[in-house]
Amino acid sequence: MSDPASFKDLETIFARILNLALTLGGITAFIMLIVGGFRFLTSSGDPKQTQAAGQTITMAIVGLLVAIGSWFILGLLGNLTGLDLTTFSLTGD
């Protein structure tokens, strides 16, 4: 028979969800940075396409900075509360 759920289990679930969201956000920002760069290279000097590519790159950088900032905030919250929110483990260790 398994042990009943505890607050430690909630910490693990919360940490996994946040780490997955931050990882996916970082990957998405990186992919959008590549897409924006490709769009910029293939714009052939068209001002509208160049501007759209620049906006894509800008938003990708902003998204990446938000993901990194979120990671640092989680680290700060972990230090203040004693919870380990920045460790990702699929095994539950």
Residue 88 forms part of a structural domain? no
Assigned token pair, 73: 């905030």
Provide the residue type at 51 as one letter.
Q
Residue 18 within any structural domain of the chain: yes
| Total domains in the fold of the chain | 1
Domain membership of residue 90 (yes or no) is no
Q: For residue 30, tell me if it sits in a domain.
A: yes
Q: What is the DSSP string of 70-83?
A: HHHHHHHHHHHH--
pLDDT tens digits for range 49-92: 999 999 999 999 998 888 888 888 878 887 888 766 666 555 55
Q: Which structure tokens are listed for 45?
A: 């000097």
pTM to 2 decimal places: 0.69
To which residue do tokens 């068209």 refer? Answer: 46
Structure tokens at 46: 């068209």
45 Cα distance to chain centroid: 32
